[in-house]
Amino acid sequence: MVRKGKYLGEFEELVLLSVATLYDQAYGVTVMQFIIDETGRSVNISAVHEVLKRLERKGYVKSKMGGATNERGGRRKRYFTLTISGRKVLEVEMTLKMQLYNRVPNFSFKLS
């Protein structure tokens, strides 16, 4: 079970799933674009960066700086990867959601 203070919000979960999916190509812009492409949601890059920092403070991701590139004017990208704790919290979230989903009576899905 996730300890108190380690709660994962909905947008945090989307960002964390994006980092896991993008694997070694996860940095702010790619995470933002992945969420836009997969969900159709409007996403602000500042919000993505803030969530990535928060997830790192919680221990769910770790980051490292990539090399400088000419296309970015010599600036470096901060790449994020999923940690063991990040994987575990995603598993707990998925298990909880599936348990709740499976408890919904079939007739509930037939309601209009």
* Domain of 53, in residue numbers: 10-109
How many residues are there in the chain?
Answer: 112
pTM: 0.83
Using the structure block, give the residue that is written with the tokens 């990208």.
77
Q: Residue 4 falls within a domain, yes or no?
A: no
Judge whether 39 lies within some domain: yes
Q: Is the pLDDT of residue 4 over 80?
A: no
Give 18-73 pLDDT, tens digit per residue: 999 999 999 999 999 999 999 999 999 999 999 999 999 999 999 999 877 777 66
Whether 99 is covered by a domain: the verdict is yes
Is there a domain that residue 101 lies in?
yes
Whether 92 maps to a domain, the answer reads yes
Residue 6: what pLDDT? 66
**Average per-residue pLDDT in the chain?**
89
Q: How many domains does the chain have?
A: 1
CATH of residue 40:
1.10.10.10
Q: Is-contact 52 63, C-beta < 8 A?
A: yes
CA angle 27, 94, 81 (to 5 degrees): 20
> Residue 79: inside a domain, yes or no?
yes
What is the reported pLDDT for 1? 45
